[in-house]
Amino acid sequence: MKNFSLAIILLVALTACSTEYQYYLETDDANGVEEGAKIYRQGVEIGEVTEVEFVDRKVRLSIETDSPLFEDQDFDLGRGPEGEPAVELDGPDRNAGELASGETLEDGASFDFDLDDGMSEVFKDAFGADGEKLEEKMKDIFGEDGEKMEVRIKELFGEDGEKLEEAVENILGKDGEKLEAAIENVLGKDGENIKTSIESLIGKDGEKLQESIEAIIGKDGEKLERWAEEFGDEFEELGERIEAVDKLYEKDSPEWKREMKKVMQEWADSRN
């Protein structure tokens, strides 16, 4: 009897120390994670992978943990603290319900939106937790393989695009005559409209353009000559300072750019 009691105590102790939860993780790529890989939640080791297998087109990992998992909890298959393949579980949302042992978490099972819980629920209601509602809606609109879209395109443009061709001809004319007429309306038959516009700007023989140039530089360029004489010395000094910077520093180096900026700023300040 005494030995039986000890056996019961030992069994209870082993049960208390054993893994409490069993779950499944489903993903598209195991990323090197194998049986025996450690499970971490927010950097804390909580269990290990007990099996890796294919289920349909997904990879399923059977795991055992000493802490529960939660609804829509995200996970990554990457590297542990020592660089070994491992599973990292993110912290659960504050309102997420606890998963019962034996349930499955899917990679990317929840929308990764930085929204409050209310908005997150709105998106899930609209699109489904995995976007399945959106996928169904797209199939309703476009068809399983896009056949509905193909039918719609043919309705709009014709079997061989003949409706599109008719629409283009209606706008431009069969041989483009409507487009040609529109261009002639703007430019004139022989470009006389644009010629008239140019003449109004610069004069029939360019006299208006010549008057504008003379107003700026003088009839014989005397205004330009006076300006050159006035600023010639200053430009010569600026050129000498630029040449000095080129000799002292490698072109386009940080020092060259700094000194060149300084030279130009000082010259600009002297002009004010």
Could you read off the pLDDT of 42-94 as tens digits, one per residue?
999 999 999 999 999 999 999 999 999 999 999 999 998 888 999 999 999 98
For every residue of 199-233, which 3-state class applies, written as one string? HHHHCCCCHHHHHHHHHHHCCCCHHHHHHHHHHHH
Angle of CA points 99, 100, 103, to nearest 5°:
80
Instruction: Report the number of distinct structural domains present in the chain.
Output: 2
Angle of CA points 69, 70, 72, to nearest 5°:
125
What does the chain come to in residues? 272
Is 140 a member of any domain?
no
With 70 as the cut, is the pLDDT of residue 8 above it? Answer: no
Domain boundary among 67, 84, 106: 106
178 versus 135: which is more confidently predicted? 178
Interval 35-47 mean pLDDT: 95
Is 142 a member of any domain?
no
Domain boundary among 106, 122, 143: 106
Q: How far, in Å, CA of 252 to CA of 258, rounded?
A: 10
Is 97 a member of any domain?
yes
Provide the pLDDT for residue 9. 47
Q: How far, in Å, CA of 20 to CA of 36, rounded?
A: 17
- Over the stretch 179-194, which tens digit does the pLDDT of each residue have? 888 888 888 877 788 8
Provide the pLDDT for residue 10. 46
Interval 132-137 mean pLDDT: 77
Q: What is the pTM of this model?
A: 0.37
Angle of CA points 178, 183, 189, to nearest 5°:
105
Region of 63 on the Ramachandran plot (φ > 0 left; ψ -120 to 50 alpha; else beta):
beta
Q: Residue 80: which of 49, 107, 51 has the closest Cα?
A: 49
The mean predicted confidence, pLDDT, of the chain is 81
Domain boundary among 71, 106, 141: 106
pLDDT band at 16 (very low <50, low <70, confident <90, very high): very low
Is 220 a member of any domain?
no
Angle of CA points 19, 24, 25, to nearest 5°:
120
Domain, as residue range, for 249: 233-271
Q: How far, in Å, CA of 167 to CA of 81, rounded?
A: 66
Q: How far, in Å, CA of 192 to CA of 17, rounded?
A: 98
Interval 136-154 mean pLDDT: 82
Is 248 a member of any domain?
yes
Three-state secondary structure call for residue 8? helix
Is 82 a member of any domain?
yes
Cross-sheet strand order for the sheet of 38-41? 75-79, 85-89, 38-41, 44-55, 58-65, 21-27, 104-106
Provide the pLDDT for residue 154. 84
Is 221 a member of any domain?
no
DSSP code, position 161: S
